Amino acid sequence: MPETALTEGGPASGRIRVVLVDDHAVMREGTRALMEKEEDIEVVGEAASANGGLDAVLTHQPDVLVLDIRLKDGSGVDLAKAVRQQAPDTRILVLTAYDNDQYVRALVRIGVNGYLLKDAPAAEVNAAIRTVFQGGTVLAPDIATKVVKTLSRALGGRPTEGDKLSDREIEVLGLLLSGARNSDIAEQLGVNVKTAESHVTSILTKLGVQTRMQAVLKAIQEGLIKVPA
């Protein structure tokens, strides 16, 4: 299938539009087949390379980009950075076999919305697509501790006001760890969405970070919240 192939008939209304980038054809085809079993997910384009992936994103303007790290002509890190700059509305879910410190650190700095390993069950991957599409953050529990360690140098040198977080903000951090959207936070806390957004903004400011994932990781690093066993 051509790298930027559009699914026949175009995207169906109400479905999450996905571009899939992986340099292993068998893996890509299998992942696509599993995604498209879901009524609310549609793979509108795919690619085996970084350049092809960027072309697919710019052509199809997907809701979510699902990408591997090692690609034929570059890295998923470079692709994620380019997508952040050129298609900022596209959310990014990393689906890879690699959890190297270098990759994790770079991708979190870029501000990806999720990071899963390829041994994750299909249901978990599809759920992650929905979560990042809806504004949440997904982090594989089995690499959370490793991720925190890799960030000790990237984020740890910045002074933060983490000790000044309110009990309510700590509660919100716990919800962010579970991938909650602003609407989920609002419902859980019994407040309106604007108030939930205000809590999240305050947390980012106090922790000195820019994204929800960075906030969660920084909070884990500083012992403010714990990863569920």
DSSP secondary structure, 202-214, as one string: HHHHHHT-SSHHH
Task: Write b or e for each residue in 144-170: b if 16 or more Cβ atoms lie within 10 A of its Cβ, otherwise e.
Answer: beebbebbeebbeeeebebeebeeebe
- The more confidently predicted of residues 193 and 8 is 193
pLDDT band at residue 68 using 50, 70 and 90 as cut-offs: very high
DSSP secondary structure, 91-152, as one string: EEEEEES---HHHHHHHHHHT-SEEEETTS-HHHHHHHHHHHHTT--EE-HHHHHHHHHHHH
**Four-way CATH pick for 155-221: 3.40.225.10, 1.10.10.10, 3.10.20.30, 1.10.540.10:** 1.10.10.10
What is the structure's pLDDT at 59? 96
Q: Which of 49-58, 69-78, 151-160 has the lowest mean pLDDT?
A: 151-160
**Four-way CATH pick for 16-140: 3.30.465.10, 3.40.630.10, 3.40.50.1980, 3.40.50.2300:** 3.40.50.2300
CATH 1.10.10.10 in the chain: give the residue spans: 155-221
CATH 3.40.50.2300 in the chain: give the residue spans: 16-140
Distance (Å, whole) CA 97 – CA 120: 10
Encoded tokens for 39: 């009524």
pLDDT tens for 79-129 read 999 999 999 999 999 998 887 767 777 787 788 888 888 888 899 999 999
In this structure, which amino acid lies at residue 183?
S
Distance (Å, whole) CA 42 – CA 20: 10
**How much is the mean pLDDT over the chain?**
82
Distance (Å, whole) CA 221 – CA 201: 19
CA 14 to chain centre: 21
Average pLDDT over residues 146-172: 67
Q: Which helix (H) or strand (E) holds 38?
A: none
